[in-house]
């Protein structure tokens, strides 16, 4: 079977991680988040994690060569043989070219870029109330509270707030997204693989819209 790569595109707080986790279960493809991979490296204290932290804390993108190498290594693992749901990658034109090439090398293709279109005021509200678990499950104090405060429903791990969800960093991350990542919307539109979904809807409605687009 040809490997299929689905790309979740959208601003910080758009809901990429929330939706990717659910789509991953629906389609039986692994959820690969570049941000989660960096945070995992940081937790393990690797050189790559320490390097990435400097960029993440300031809301800047980690350099392309480092990011592409890390994602490539992950996509070459056996559990990705049928494809993956990519969340937060690609984020620059160079990364978009890299995934085209890599998908081809791995005997697959980018099936669709799923763009979550969300109003800016909602992004800030979503990020300020976000709590995450070390395994990447995502909660929100109002929109998606855990059953037991501070504890992940799925694996019982302790939830925490991300360092880069401070208000000033969030504003900068949104600016960086608009400058460096938003041009990918046109890139995928031109290739005929873009699907735009109204990400302002509630979590379940967004999920239904995405599954319709995936078909």
- Enzyme catalytic residues: 16, 91, 130, 162, 173
Asked whether position 61 contacts ligand AP5 by CB under 6 A, the answer is yes
- Is residue 207 a contact residue for ligand AP5 (CB under 6 A)? no
Q: Verify binding: residue 62, ligand AP5, rule CB under 6 A.
A: yes
Q: Which two tokens stand for residue 56?
A: 């993440």
Task: Using alpha carbons, list the distances in angstroms from residue 81 to 42, 76, 77, 78, 148.
Answer: 26, 8, 7, 5, 36
Q: Does 144 bind ligand AP5 (CB under 6 A)?
A: yes
Residue 191: which H helix or E strand, with range?
helix 183-191
Is 91 or 112 the residue whose CB approaches ligand AP5 more closely?
A: 91
Which conformational region is residue 83 in: left (phi greater than 0), alpha (psi within -120 to 50 degrees), or beta? left
Cα separation, 166 vs 173, in Å, equals: 10
CB of 4 to Mg ion, least distance (A): 21
Residues that contact ligand AP5, how many (by CB under 6 A): 36
Query: Beta strands 194-198 and 138-140: pairing type?
Result: unpaired
- Counting contacts by CB under 5 A, is residue 17 touching Mg ion? yes
**Does the footprint of ligand AP5 cover residue 99 (CB under 6 A)?**
no
Q: Which is nearer to Mg ion, 109 or 172 (CB)?
A: 172
35 belongs to the binding site for ligand AP5 (CB under 6 A) = yes
Interface with ligand AP5, residue 15, by CB under 6 A: yes
Region from 51-59, 104-112, 148-156, 188-196 binding ligand AP5, contact rule CB under 6 A: 51-59
Burial of 13 (0-12, 13-18, 19+ CB in 10 A): buried
Region of 17-25, 41-49, 107-115, 172-180 interacting with Mg ion (CB under 5 A): 17-25
User: What is the nearest approach in angstroms of Mg ion to the Cβ of residue 71?
Assistant: 14
Q: Is 131 exposed, middle or buried (0-12, 13-18, 19+ CB in 10 A)?
A: buried
Q: Per CB under 6 A, does 17 bind ligand AP5?
A: yes
């Amino acid at each position: 079977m040809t490997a299929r790569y689905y790309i979740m595109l959208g601003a910080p707080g758009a809901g990429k991680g929330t939706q990717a986790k659910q789509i991953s279960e629906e389609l039986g493809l692994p959820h690969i988040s570049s941000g989660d991979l960096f945070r995992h490296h940081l937790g393990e204290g690797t050189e790559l994690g320490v390097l990435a932290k400097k960029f993440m804390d300031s809301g800047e993108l980690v350099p392309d060569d480092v990011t592409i190498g890390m994602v490539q290594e992950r996509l070459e693992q056996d559990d990705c043989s049928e494809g993956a749901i990519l969340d937060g990658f690609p984020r620059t034109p160079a990364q978009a070219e890299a995934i085209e090439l890599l998908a081809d090398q791995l005997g697959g293709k980018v099936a669709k870029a799923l763009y979550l279109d969300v109003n800016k005021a909602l992004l800030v509200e979503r990020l300020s109330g976000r709590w995450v678990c070390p395994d990447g499950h995502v909660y929100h104090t109002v929109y998606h509270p855990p059953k037991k405060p501070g504890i992940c429903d799925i694996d019982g791990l302790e939830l925490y707030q991300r360092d880069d969800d401070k208000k000033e960093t969030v504003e900068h991350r949104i600016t960086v997204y608009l400058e460096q990542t938003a041009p990918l919307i046109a890139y995928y539109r031109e290739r005929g693989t873009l699907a735009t979904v109204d990400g302002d809807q509630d979590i379940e409605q967004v999920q239904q819209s995405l599954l319709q687009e995936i078909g």
